[in-house]
Amino acid sequence: MMKKPKIAVLYFPGNNCEEETRDRCIDVGMDAKIIRWNSKEDLSQYHGYIIPGGFSYEDRIRSGVIAAKEKMMERVRKGAESGKLLLGICNGAQILVETGMIPGLKNKVEMALAPNINPFVSGYYCEWVYIRNINKKNSAYTILYGKDEIIQVPIAHGEGRFTTKDSALIKQLEKNRQIAFQYCDKGGKIIDKYPINPNGAALNIAAISNKEGNIMAIMPHLERASYSWQLPDSIKNNDRTNAIKIFESMKRYIEEKIV
């Protein structure tokens, strides 16, 4: 009998989305457990890791940088380098960028998740947006999405703008097909203008994977939009939305490639 994929949801002081993230993993048929930053538990028993959203260490200095230096992240890095899955959502995405595992082309930090550029709101911004899957080929998190499939999701961050001064890096990300999701309008059109691009991210980037496709950093909260009752103006039933496919894709990938 095939083992259930096991996911460790990594908790750092200040995270606040760990329970919803764990529950979405369980909803799609995976085992999931919240693991504290100072736990000595053996992480090798898990097939993948998720770092949820929130405000680790109060986002002091800059978002994600303190958690990125925690000893646990070295164990997580070793697991991801062996091919295990590693997903960072919102604050988790900021942590992965601060470790250099995203975009992961060099053994150093290559990008930033910088403060939002928004003409109306300075700092933290929470809103429903649309994102489009543009990468079906090499990401473990998009294998169940159709090309150009559109997802309605919420964002909730103050520093969510994927950016770099290195124009060659952006071109390399495009060439490698590492950009997984882009902000778009309701019809899927990519418009580099507020409110379609809610934070001024380069190329409307909402999510980036590493070149191998087993690590991904995504700013929108798919765990908060996985059921119709979570959506704005919903009919309040318990139907699953296409946002939950990110967790279903993880399960499928682990079953086919890892377990």
Q: Please check whether residue 188 is in contact with residue 181, taking contact to mean a CB–CB distance below 8 angstroms.
A: no
Where is 33: in which H helix or E strand?
strand 31-36
47 catalytic per annotation: no
To the nearest 10 degrees (0 to 180), the angle between helices 91-99 and 72-81 is 80
Tell me if the bond preceding 195 is cis, omega within 30° of 0. Answer: yes
What is the separation, in whole angstroms, between the first and last Cα of the chain?
11
Neighbours of 107 (CB within 10 A): 8
Neighbours of 69 (CB within 10 A): 13
Of 18, 98, 221, 248, which one is the catalytic site residue? 221
Query: Which are the contacts of 70, defined by CB distance < 8 A and separation ≥ 6?
Result: 12, 37
Of 18, 70, 223, 248, which one is the catalytic site residue? 223
Residue 236 and residue 135: Cα distance in Å, rounded? Answer: 31
Q: Please check whether residue 153 is in contact with residue 89, taking contact to mean a CB–CB distance below 8 angstroms.
A: no
223 catalytic per annotation: yes
Neighbours of 27 (CB within 10 A): 16
Of 17, 25, 90, 184, which one is the catalytic site residue? 90
Give per-residue burial for 204-218: e unless 16+ CB within 10 Å, then b. Answer: bbbbbbbeebbbbbb
Query: Which are the contacts of 184, defined by CB distance < 8 A and separation ≥ 6?
Result: 130, 131, 132, 150, 190, 191, 196, 204
18 catalytic per annotation: no
Residue numbers annotated as active site:
90, 221, 223
